[in-house]
Structure 1
Amino acid sequence: MAAEITEPERQPPQNRPSVPGPKPPRFRTRTSLSGGSLPNLPPAYWGTVAFVLGAVVGSFLNVVIWRLPRGESLSHPGSHCPRCNHPLAAWENIPILSFLLLRGRCRECRQSISLRYPVVEALVGLLFLVFVLRFGPTVRAIAYCLFAATLVAAFFIDLEHFIIPDELNIFAWAVGVALDLWLAHSGDPAHRMIWGW
């Protein structure tokens, strides 16, 4: 009499606790501009730095937007009220905050300050924030920030004077060439995308 072979009873699958995998990095790269490693800082840190730096650049762009089409020097004289020529103190030059503290008026002549000033500062700050959160503190992010800042200046100058100064075109061209050379040097495939091959 042949022995019967019985299959072992199958145990119901047990619910094993799932172990979450490592989270993907927020930034695509953690390498500095010189190739070394950056400290593992949270995105909020880089975002804050980017926005503050962008607002400062936006404050300088307001000088460019006002003086460049008028043929004035960008460095002399210092920041002043365009209506009464009152020299601005350091605390009157704080991006965005100064406009709020002064309630949109010059401290000396009490004339209204153009809303363009805080708009440009906030806009450039937000653009810097977006690029740094997208690409991290990298050469590509810096190039995109500079290019975006140039476009902002060109837009507001063109909006008021219907011209785009050659200086802005040359600067944007130089940023584009520098970025392309960096991408080619680092072997980034975006270099080929720029030229279409």
Structure 2
Amino acid sequence: MEEKEELLGEVEKVEEEVVEGKSVPYERFKEVNDKYKLVKDELETVKADLEALKSNNLTNEPKVEPVVQKVEEVVEEVEEVLENPNPLEEKVTQYEEMFNQMLVTKLESVPEEYKDLVPEGDTTFKLKWIDSAIAKGLFSKKIQNFGNQGSNPLKVATDVTKEKFKKMNASERSKIYKENPELYKQLKSQM
């Protein structure tokens, strides 16, 4: 009974927000709708239990009869509430369709070789994950340079003039000799 009143209060709050034009987050819609479905399922269980009592003729017992009447009254009240169409159900369906379409669009932007990285989960989880991955550059196709690209890792001196060569000390000249012997010979001959 208390859960029913709590659910009704939550539904009324969300209805007021919708009527006032406020945006209600999908998670909130889902929460209220899930509670609505839970109450509906529990009602069916109570009705089935009540029918089982009636079929076994246990409802005519003096101690049981008032309890059965009270349960029947509560069942009727809850049925009245549940029979009225859930005004949020249509909105929830619209939001679900919109989020599913957003997910499809986002997945189209993910390169094929990365699609298997998208984790399993509900639509909102996947959307958040993809947004986060894009923001962190996971799907960018930048090729990182990891060093030597096939050329000599030492910087080969080729822009050394005769004047620069004359001003170099022995270790600098030795380095040119190791890196580019032809240039060294050429510069040495010009001295």
State the TM bucket, normalised to the shorter chain.
under 0.3
Q: Could you tell me the TM-score, scaled by structure 2's length?
A: 0.23
Query: Higher relative CO (CA 8 A, sep ≥ 6), structure 1 or 2?
Result: 1
Q: Could you tell me the TM-score, scaled by structure 1's length?
A: 0.22
Q: Which has the larger radius of gyration?
A: 2
